């Protein structure tokens, strides 16, 4: 199992950051996704711009504090834990992924891929939060 973690701080309240992250119906702010399909209150599918799908099963929702889900696609299975903390008017996110590659030849690349995805996610989140100021 490969573990990847990223932390970031945003100059916004936790409610605003939580709302952006957990609005699975609106994936337009994500640079890597073409769409998200909501199956029910706890299950959704993300589609990359290349058409690749990942299925998610939400297992913990503690508003403004913690979100956890299981994820799976053809190449991996794993789980994700996200914590949200408000400190001095800012929000700190702490996101950790635990992933197992399903194909042996992918194992050497999983950690690098996860870090790249996490960095892109945080960059997209920061832009989405900034853009919402302009509306």
Q: Across the chain, which distance is largest between two alpha carbons, in Å? A: 46
Number of structural domains found in the chain:
1
pLDDT tens digits for the chain (135 residues)?
999 999 999 999 999 999 999 999 999 999 999 999 999 999 999 999 999 999 999 999 999 999 999 999 999 999 999 999 999 989 999 999 999 999 999 999 999 999 999 999 999 999 999 987 766
Residues in the chain: 135
Q: For residue 39, what are the domain limits?
A: 2-133
Count Cβ atoms within 10 A of the Cβ of residue 48 and give its class: 0-12 exposed, 13-18 middle, 19 or more buried. middle
pTM (2 d.p.): 0.93
Q: How far apart are the first and last CA of the chain?
A: 42
Q: What is the CATH number of the domain that holds 59?
A: 3.30.530.20
Please report the pLDDT score of residue 131 as a whole number.
Answer: 87
Q: What is the model's pLDDT at position 132?
A: 79
State the pLDDT at residue 135. Answer: 60
Nearest to 34, CA basis, from 54, 18, 7: 54
């Amino acid at each position: 199992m490969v573990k990847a973690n990223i932390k970031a701080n945003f100059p916004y309240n936790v409610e605003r950051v939580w709302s952006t992250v957990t609005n699975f119906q609106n994936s337009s702010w994500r640079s890597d996704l073409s769409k998200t399909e909501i199956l029910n209150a706890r299950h959704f599918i993300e589609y990359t711009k290349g058409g690749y799908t990942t299925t998610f099963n939400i297992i913990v929702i503690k508003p403004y504090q913690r979100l956890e889900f299981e994820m799976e696609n053809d190449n991996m299975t794993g789980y994700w834990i996200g914590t949200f903390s408000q400190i001095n008017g800012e929000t700190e996110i702490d996101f950790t992924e635990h992933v197992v590659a399903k194909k042996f030849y992918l194992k050497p690349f999983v950690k690098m891929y996860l870090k790249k995805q996490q960095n892109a996610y945080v960059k997209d989140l920061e832009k989405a939060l900034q853009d919402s100021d302009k509306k």
